Amino acid sequence: MAVDYKAPIKDIVFGYEVIDSYNILNKISLFKDFSENIVITTMEECAKFAEGVLAPINSIGDQIGAVINDGVVTMPAGYKEAYNKFKEAGWASISLPQEIGGGGMPIALSGGTLEILSSANLAFGLSAGAISAINFHGSDEQKSKFLPKLVSGEWTGTMNLSEPQAGSDLGTIKTKAELAENGSYKITGTKVWITFGDHDMTENIIHLVLAKLPGSPEGTKGISMFIVPKILINDDGTLGDKNNVQCLSIEEKLGIHASPTCVMEYDGAIGYLVGEENRGLHYMFTMMNEARIWVGGQGLASASAAVQGAAQYARDRVQGRPVGMSKEDAKNASIIEHADVRRMLLTIKSYVDAMRYLMFDNQLMLDLEYFGEDEVTKSLGEERCAILTPITKAWLSDLGVELSSLAIQVYGGMGYVEETGIAQYLRDARIAPIYEGTNGIQALDLMFRKLPLDNGQAMQRLLGEVTNQIELMKNGSDLMVSLAKELEIHVSKLSEVTMWLATKMLDGQLVDASAAATPYLKMFGQVLGGYYMGKAAVLAEKKLKDGDNEFYSDKLTICKFYIQQLLPIASGYASAITAGKEDLFNIKAENF
């Protein structure tokens, strides 16, 4: 009775047009031939793999999970075979640069494949962040030694940041690195929360480990990054001896049971310094920013899959007499005829569209930052990506949990029963607001690092684009004018509280600003959702003029529902933002 997942290809293809990806990317020589045909073909092939290979083992992974015996981690039945097919099809490297063996497609294209693959099986996801970190910061020797098999998927990579006493505060890590006679380093320490830290799907795993050298500066300024292979590599490229690294245990978790979350021990393991000493945290952020967008995509994937299950169930479940329906007609009426059920489904669908457009746009900006051919383009990508990333990570992952829970509500009691499979989406989604930097940290990042960028001008430039979209809509149909006026109300309120926060920070009232960080991020996400839905509404209306099309008519309804019924939530956060710290700190800690 599990969810029969079908990739929403038309919705994804529409999303790339909403963010104007083709016109923007075609200005970069690497992507001059990027087109809708490429997107359609890619998503169709990805859908075949996800629906035929990953979705069928999703519940198996949930029920059995990864297991560890004598330090060896074994994946659930079917996962190793699925990974081999994943690797052979090239899904691991589709958006990696051609010069390192990747598919050479834009990073933005991986947004659609991420949604499809993660919707089918969230626990299956492995991040490619280690590849980017080595590619951007490693030596030529390190690139030639490690990248080919990481890119091909023959090996996988991990990020090793946290320790038992050092979660978000990496300045307190204790893992140490000592220089060896041959120029390598001996790495000693314990790392926790390491996703796919060990498994049996590949013959080697390349760990990127943060550690401190003797005499390094205190705090985060003294952190270096090291490549530590599970199996050492001989000079001729063949595998050598096992390194002194092992998985001590895997965590028993609420969800993503098939994804081994490992406690890793390094006991004088051989490692290789990446880049310069004490620059490790800077290098790691190459991985972290990509991973944070990726985690936001997991929130999108959870909600996208959950609404499919809820809609399937609502169409099939006959229960109750819908208001306004005769007793005779109600005999065969399914619960999708109830207004409240439709409200729940439309709420999820509307948010999913807004979430998708935001994530695609964030990745599009990453393409501009990495591959732009002039400083103006690269600067725009870097600036916009900096602002959007914490919102993508936090707003999307929070919604992933909220909307998966709402999907369970559509099922009623059957949603709470494991045999329907819908509960797994909620359990799996719950990790996303936590890892890769908790959403509270994302809110602080937006507040204290991104809001002040270029003396606040970066934020104003983004809000200026939103205002331009409003003006465009005001020149359209009566519906567009109506939607524009609604959007304008909440953009104005966001601008107002943004100025209030900027004043607080200039006055040194930082605790007041920190108290406002989370509601501010939520408000910003809700308003950006309205901005993207405005763009989608204009596009859908334009498409409808070419002929009567149910798909675009539905899109217009979804945009209208979001802007008129969900966007107003944004201004509701304003009072929480401007309330300050007083109430939060009036109660003694022991009285909570």
Out of 436, 465, 486, 541, the active site residue is: 436
SS3 category, 206:
strand
Alpha helices (H) in 412-509, listed in sequence order: 422-429, 439-445, 457-474, 478-506
Tokens 């006493």 locate to: 165
The pair of structure tokens assigned to 173 is 């890590």
Beta strands in 136-179 (DSSP E): 155-160, 176-179
Q: In the beta sheet, which residues pair with residue 543?
A: none
DSSP string across 98-137 = GGGTS----TTHHHHHHHHHHHH-GGG----HHHHHHHHH
Contact 252, 226 (CB under 8 A): no
Element (H, E) at 261: strand 261-273
Query: Angle 417-418-420 (CA atoms, 0-180°, nearest 5)?
Result: 85
Contact 562, 529 (CB under 8 A): yes
Using alpha carbons, list the distances in angstroms from residue 99 to 132, 266, 364: 13, 32, 20
- Quick check: is 436 catalytic? yes
Distance, CA of 208 to CA of 27 (rounded, Å): 34
Measure the N-to-C terminal CA separation of the chain; round to a whole number of Å.
42
DSSP 413: G
Q: In the beta sheet, which residues pair with residue 227?
A: 208, 272
Residue type, 225: M
Active site residues: 436
